[in-house]
Amino acid sequence: MTSNLEAQLLALQQEGEKAIAAADTLERLEELRVSYLGKKGHLGVLLRSMGQLSGEERPKIGAIANKVKESLQNSLDQQRTVLEAAEIEAQLEAETLDVTMPGIYRPQGRIHPLNGIIDRVLDIFVGMGYTVASGPEMETDYYNFEALNTPPDHPARDMQDTFYLPDGNLLRTQTSSVQIRYMETEEPPVRIIAPGRVYRRDNVDATHAAVFHQIELLAIDEGLTFTDLKGTIKVFLQAMFGEVPIRFRASYFPFTEPSAEVDLQWNGRWLEVMGCGMVDPNVLKAVGYDPEVYTGFAAGFGVERFAMVLHQLDDIRRVYTSDLRFLSQF
């Protein structure tokens, strides 16, 4: 009985090692482990017959069975290592990139020249303590005109060619309307910078567009004077254009008094770049501010004008064409 069981154990070892060496997948290897070493496997079946052995025979057969089990387990571990390495190698080969192949070209994105100007302006004024404010592009007549000291019969309205809407509203002609909306909800002191699109019924040509971008600034506080306005404008323009000569010319706007146009000397000639002035007392009254206590100044300019000067553009329409050959220069 002993020799027969010993022979069966050794035959099981040879058979198992041969089958394990031939396993070509981890799944097949797991099946063989269960088949030979599992609770109901071949080795377990043989060991159950040890109950028929005498007390002297059991230790000998037990030692042989342990060697068979250890040998089969070692074979399983070695084959598992081989198969896992092969699986990783196959995965690496399948996922390998051919670095010699040409890549897919994606042009680098760039900031639009108008957005670039707006970003620079906001950085300067935020650095001086101003808050960025915004408002609706579709406005009421009150915010666009009346609250800015421009009543229906005011001759200054002839200066504005406006897009009126069927419901009586309009497309704002200036970002000054943002100033009124902001002052209605905030108490002085006020320091805001308001960028945005505006709309006017201009004939489109090299220097005019029906839709363009404007930036306005407003400061309200006790004791502000025209000197504060001039100093603010000078600091801003020299931050944008460098140490260039600047001059103020008397002008007229319904919502400021006194008012001025601002010129700077660029490439040997004077260029008008913005308008400004002290906030008219009627505007302060419209938002509930006491003009006997508070004064303020405002200024505004077109972003496209700044872009044309700084980038030496000859036609405003170039910034609206989405021509990548043009935009890639910036």
DSSP characters over 110-139: ---HHHHHHHHHHHHHHHTT-EE----SEE
* Burial letters 93-103, b for 16+ CB under 10 A, else e: eeeeeeeeeee
CA dihedral angle for residue 27, residue 31, residue 37, residue 43, rounded to 10 degrees: -150
Q: For the whole prediction, is pTM greater than 0.85?
A: no
Exposed (0-12), middle (13-18) or buried (19+): which is 237, by Cβ within 10 Å?
A: buried
Please give the CATH topology (third level) of the domain spanning 113-327: BirA Bifunctional Protein; domain 2 (3.30.930)
So what's the pLDDT on residue 66? 81
Q: How far apart are the first and last CA of the chain?
A: 95
Regions of the chain short of the pLDDT cut 70? 1-3, 49-55, 156-160
So what's the pLDDT on residue 2? 55
User: pLDDT digit string (tens) for 15-68?
Assistant: 888 888 888 888 888 888 888 777 777 777 777 766 666 667 777 777 877 888
So what's the pLDDT on residue 295? 97
CA distances (Å), 25 to each of 3, 21, 79, in order?
A: 35, 11, 9
Domain boundaries, the chain: 2-95, 113-327
So what's the pLDDT on residue 41? 77
